[in-house]
Amino acid sequence: MELSNVAYGNTEQWVLQLVLAVIVLGIALDISPSDFRKVIKSPRAPLCGLTAQFFLLPMLTLILTLMLELPAGIELGMLLVAACPGGAISNFITYLSGGNTALSITMTAAASTLAIVLMPFNFVFWSQLNPEAVALMQQIEVSSRDLVTTVILVLAIPLSLGFTIKHYLPVLAGRLHLLLKYSSILALFAFIAFAVIQNLEAFQKYFSLLIVVVLIHNSLAYAIGYFTAYLNGVELADRKAITIEVGMQNSTLAIAIVFTQFDGEAGMALISAFWGTWHLVSGLLIAIVFRKCLPS
């Protein structure tokens, strides 16, 4: 699968990182210290979900990439998505499913914070165990330091700023959150649309491969979340929240990293963009199934 990388200049890269940082800021403005205290007071459910998200999903994704004979860019893109924290609209999807929205918010807060360290670590660690992924990373000459710098710019700084505004200026935080909540969704679609349009020919040509890979990978993520919670005796409403948090990864962050650190590597861009499109659909489907078949 030979694809041309996406043409993406330095100006566009900075714009992309800035917009993504604004999305993360919008999430942080709705997070309070009480969300973290909930993890300490009732740790079983959030720790169960975070373990599934930051350990089991990347590990099983590695196994999946080793089992399937896929282009290196696709495999590396899968590992990158698996290393990302939960998606921006998982709280809304959890609400629709009848799940524990408070737990979903708590996990989003904790995952976004932990991702500052765990996201680059997980991605580099698990990728090193995939020979084809390692070869591609060496070919592109990806710098671990640059990857960490990107995560700091788009996660650490906006999270810290959002927490500060929330604490000292709660009224302003509430207004900004309402504004950014909707603009972040538009930005999410814009990111995905950009990646798809730039690779439209390849997207159409390899549509059947992409949909199969993403369906399998996304289904695996939901299954990991659900059964990890189930086997640990987590109650149904919490189980729904954990399932959705693990299944809806922040592919927007993955797309930004692909464009800024991987020179728009086409296989990675395609898998990240397709995941970002599909997990919105699958999330709504999961929410409907949960609400209809498993009422809390």
**Residue-number span of the structural domain to which 40 is assigned:** 10-291
279 in a domain, yes or no?
yes
Q: What was the pLDDT predicted at 198?
A: 66
228 in a domain, yes or no?
yes
Q: Is the pLDDT of residue 9 over 60?
A: no
Helical H segments across the chain, by residue range: 10-28, 33-41, 44-51, 57-67, 72-83, 90-97, 101-127, 131-140, 144-151, 157-168, 170-198, 200-205, 207-231, 236-247, 251-261, 266-293
146 in a domain, yes or no?
yes
5 in a domain, yes or no?
no
Q: Is the pLDDT of residue 142 over 70?
A: no
What tens digit of pLDDT does each residue of 98-111 get?
A: 888 878 888 888 88
Q: Is the pLDDT of residue 1 over 70?
A: no
36 in a domain, yes or no?
yes
Mean pLDDT of 146-158: 80
CATH number at residue 15: 1.20.1530.20
Q: Is the pLDDT of residue 128 over 80?
A: yes
What tens digit of pLDDT does each residue of 266-293 get?
A: 888 888 888 888 888 899 999 999 999 9
256 in a domain, yes or no?
yes
Q: What was the pLDDT predicted at 244?
A: 96
Q: Judge residue 289's burial from the number of C-beta atoms within 10 Å of its C-beta, 0-12 exposed, 13-18 middle, 19 or more buried.
A: exposed
Q: What was the pLDDT predicted at 265?
A: 82
Kindly indicate the confidence band of residue 35, based on its pLDDT and cuts at 50, 70 and 90: low
Kindly indicate the confidence band of residue 245, based on its pLDDT and cuts at 50, 70 and 90: very high
Rounded to whole angstroms, the Cα distance separating 282 from 267 reads 22
Q: What was the pLDDT predicted at 63?
A: 96
Q: How many domains does the chain have?
A: 1
Rounded to whole angstroms, the Cα distance separating 98 from 232 reads 20
